[in-house]
Structure 1
Amino acid sequence: MWQQHRDLSATVDRWFAENTFSSSEFEDLQRLLALKQQQGVTISLALPTLNEEETIGPIIEQLQAQLVTNTPILDELVLIDSGSDDRTREIAASLGVPVYVHQEILPQYGSFVGKGEALWKSLYVLNGDLIAWCDTDIKNFHPRFVFGVLGPLLRDRRLVYSKGFYRRPLQFGDQLTASGGGRVTELTARPLLNLFYPELSGMLQPLSGEYAGRRTALEQIPFFTGYGVETGMLIDLLEQYGLGALAQVDLLERVHRNQTLVSLSKMAFAITQVVIQRMEQRQRVSLLEPVNQTMKLITQRDDGGFHLELREIRDHERPAMVDIPEYRRLRGIESEAEPRQEG
């Protein structure tokens, strides 16, 4: 057992050394464009949004200038909105970006609340061979958040998925501390992955919102609809394609809107459920009862007292997009193809 542990540790160390990149390696956009053209691939970027009017305009303008006009790395740039009630969609449309509302995509399958639902449905409307996603609450946005995660996929065809990591300062009002962001990552996600999926222990920020993958891989995996989407995606890609097919990229520093502790608590609860659900499927045991999908949130009243609020927190699981008949018809996938083997 000890030898097996040492072997796994060595495997992760080797992966970390070989599959960890810096975004600076891909700053030569003409070189990236040449790689894209040599391979004959198309690239789509989806921007998931929910009330991001403060940041969406500058993000789109930088992407259009640097990755569409100056160097056409991106063939498609779309907004996938989750029902914003501010000017997010209006701003994007005014800049010429196609706008989709995720609740209106594949409406026959209903709709769930959550970023993961938007990402899953974006696979249906996007056309690229490579698919990238980038969060839209970033206050110090730079095009490296996109070309950085695309670079490894264009350089190495063995890779199927590339994920960003960065330093995350915490902002309190006008004050910015040098570190302290990524609390759910360090207190929940990474400890759980180290315990149950130690192959992923070298992944610095499993919850980051900037990543890219090959359609041929992304369409093969299910998507959780909420906070657990990134965790589920990592676990499923690991199990279907192996650690060597995954990469991570240093995107330097990311400043964004910080969430309250109550919101972070809900996120951590959902992520824990996803990890346990995948462990249930791997070990064929039942660990999660319906009662485990509710959480008592502690909130403070105006009079200084405390209040317990019972809240259901549960990520639904969408099937692999390749199993959706409408998607198969759209992509020209033969319906009589052999059933896929589950990982």
Structure 2
Amino acid sequence: MENPSSRSPRVPAPVRDWSRSHTSSAADWPPEALLRAKGAATVSVVLPARDEEQTVGGIVSAIRRDLVEAVPLVDEILVVDSRSTDATAALASAAGARVVRQDDVLPGLPPLSGKGEALWKGLAASTGDIVVFADSDLRNFGSHFISGLLGPLLTRPEIAFVKGAYERPLTGSDGVARRGAGGRVTELVARPMLNLYWPELAGFVQPLGGEYAARREVLEQVPFVTEYGVEFGLLVDLLERVGLDAMAQVDLGCREHSHQSTAALGRMAGQIMLTAWSRLERQGRIVASEAPATNLLQFGLDGEATLSDVSVAERPPLATVAPVTNAPRVSKTAS
């Protein structure tokens, strides 16, 4: 997948120039070459997982086979079990991951819910100098998803954050994958919001994608929204903290994963809009007489109404939470 912003003359010059110099492909970063560049740096892969028994074991096995045993590029595979009710934890452990229960990490804090909470707890429980996040529901996972993200971080010291880019097909109930039909919340909500208010970030092909990597010292300096606004919030906050030149993206090819219902996507969209609103307010770009409502009223096919709370909580920068140590907070889930 070629980044269209790198070739179109209609793309604003700053975005086009950044895309040309800060976009690469996973094929550019063979693991053997990255191992030579790694030096003394340590790498943790963090996989948040909730009821992903069908995919998490295969993902862990692929990482261990290709990037731990064949080429020792990854030092730690950590699965954060986000209150699963299936065999996610057992299968991840059997495949070779270290598994932590989300609520066992920093247990002195009030428990929160959502993907961002699992990511923040994974950052707290992991040990690597570089942390790679990846979703646990990928159906076509390859270890290049991890090694590709590591490439710019291991070879360019000025890069602090790397985002995955990819094509996202939508597989319908008929089993047919339709190219360009995935990433619906990205196209309907996230991309318009970024272009309106943070146009510097418009060159990111998949701003809401779950595969990205960063240096630990950078991740520990920014807050994590606990729900589905986490990726949007991280992009905006990291832009403010490290600047666009310290951010990059890597084309990982095609990404296939499980899809949520339209109603679930509507709730996700609400959380992302509230995350954007909070950043605009924090940056002094909007002044509101009152906070936005956080209830979302939706209607099913039978006309039945459903009311959902789409409010988002936020964990503070991990560096502000004492003590920032790993061992006392971690509890391994029995396989």
Q: Could you state the TM-score of these two structures normalised by the residue count of structure 2? A: 0.91
Tell me the amino acid that sits aligned with residue 91 of structure 1.
L
- Spell out, residue by residue over 1:76-134, the C-alpha distance to the aligned partner (whole angstroms, 9 max, x if none): 11111101111111111222321111112112111111010011111111111000011
Q: How large is the Cα RMSD of the aligned pairs?
A: 1.7
- CA drift at 1:9: 2.9
Q: Quick check: 1:323 aligned with 2:320?
A: yes
Match of 1:243 in 2: 244
Q: 1:58 to 1:310 in 2, by over 3 A?
A: same
Structure 1: which 5+ runs fail to align? 1-7, 332-343
Contact 2:45/2:131, CA 8 A, preserved across alignment:
yes
- CA drift at 1:144: 0.9
- Spell out, residue by residue over 1:263-299, the C-alpha distance to the aligned partner (whole angstroms, 9 max, x if none): 1111111101111110011126443845511111222
Identical residues among aligned pairs (%): 40
- CA drift at 1:34: 0.5
Match of 2:202 in 1: 201
Provide the rounded CA distance (Å) in 1 between the counterparts of 2:96 and 2:256.
Answer: 26
Match of 2:165 in 1: 165
Structure 2: which 5+ runs fail to align? 1-10, 328-335
Match of 2:330 in 1: none
- CA drift at 1:51: 0.6
Tell me the amino acid that sits aligned with residue 26 of structure 2.
S
- CA drift at 1:234: 0.4
| Bigger helix share | 1
Contact 1:53/1:86, CA 8 A, preserved across alignment:
yes
Tell me the amino acid that sits aligned with residue 19 of structure 1.
H
Q: 1:288 to 1:207 in 2, by over 3 A?
A: farther
Provide the rounded CA distance (Å) in 2 between the counterparts of 1:289 and 1:164.
Answer: 36
Tell me the amino acid that sits aligned with residue 321 of structure 1.
L
Match of 1:247, SS?
Answer: strand
- CA drift at 1:17: 0.7
Contact 1:103/1:110, CA 8 A, preserved across alignment:
no
Q: 1:313 to 1:242 in 2, by over 3 A?
A: same
Tell me the amino acid that sits aligned with residue 25 of structure 1.
D
Provide the rounded CA distance (Å) in 2 between the counterparts of 1:11 and 1:41.
Answer: 32
Match of 1:55 in 2: 55
- CA drift at 1:192: 0.2
Matched residue count: 317
Match of 2:309 in 1: 312
Q: Please, which moves more after superposition, 40-49 or 9-18?
A: 9-18
Tell me the amino acid that sits aligned with residue 276 of structure 1.
W
Provide the rounded CA distance (Å) in 2 between the counterparts of 1:176 and 1:72.
Answer: 34
Match of 1:105 in 2: 105
Match of 1:12 in 2: 15
Q: 1:285 to 1:186 in 2, by over 3 A?
A: closer
Contact 1:162/1:211, CA 8 A, preserved across alignment:
yes
Q: 1:46 to 1:282 in 2, by over 3 A?
A: same
Match of 2:180, SS?
Answer: strand
Contact 1:276/1:288, CA 8 A, preserved across alignment:
no
Provide the rounded CA distance (Å) in 2 between the counterparts of 1:155 and 1:126.
Answer: 22
Provide the rounded CA distance (Å) in 2 between the counterparts of 1:291 and 1:244.
Answer: 33
Provide the rounded CA distance (Å) in 1 between the counterparts of 2:289 and 2:154.
Answer: 40
Q: Quick check: 1:41 aligned with 2:44?
A: no
- CA drift at 1:227: 0.4
Provide the rounded CA distance (Å) in 1 between the counterparts of 2:308 and 2:287.
Answer: 22
Match of 2:228, SS?
Answer: coil
Higher relative contact order (CA 8 A, sep 6+): 2
Provide the rounded CA distance (Å) in 2 between the counterparts of 1:330 and 1:250.
Answer: 32
Provide the rounded CA distance (Å) in 2 between the counterparts of 1:322 and 1:288.
Answer: 32
Match of 1:228 in 2: 229
- CA drift at 1:308: 2.0
Q: Could you state the TM-score of these two structures normalised by the residue count of structure 1? A: 0.89
Q: Summarize the alignment of residues 269-284 of structure 1 with structure 2, pairs less than 5 Å apart.
A: 269-283=270-284
- CA drift at 1:146: 0.7
Contact 1:162/1:248, CA 8 A, preserved across alignment:
yes
Tell me the amino acid that sits aligned with residue 34 of structure 2.
L
Q: Summarize the alignment of residues 134-145 of structure 1 with structure 2, pairs less than 5 Å apart.
A: 134-145=134-145
- CA drift at 1:330: 5.8
Contact 2:60/2:96, CA 8 A, preserved across alignment:
no
Provide the rounded CA distance (Å) in 1 between the counterparts of 2:183 and 2:63.
Answer: 25
- Spell out, residue by residue over 1:201-236, the C-alpha distance to the aligned partner (whole angstroms, 9 max, x if none): 111110000000000100000000010000000000
Q: Quick check: 1:210 aligned with 2:211?
A: yes
Tell me the amino acid that sits aligned with residue 164 of structure 1.
G
- CA drift at 1:29: 1.2
Contact 1:277/1:288, CA 8 A, preserved across alignment:
no
Q: Please, which moves more after superposition, 170-179 or 126-135?
A: 170-179
- CA drift at 1:61: 1.1
Q: 1:330 to 1:100 in 2, by over 3 A?
A: closer
Provide the rounded CA distance (Å) in 1 between the counterparts of 2:83 and 2:237.
Answer: 28
Tell me the amino acid that sits aligned with residue 11 of structure 1.
P
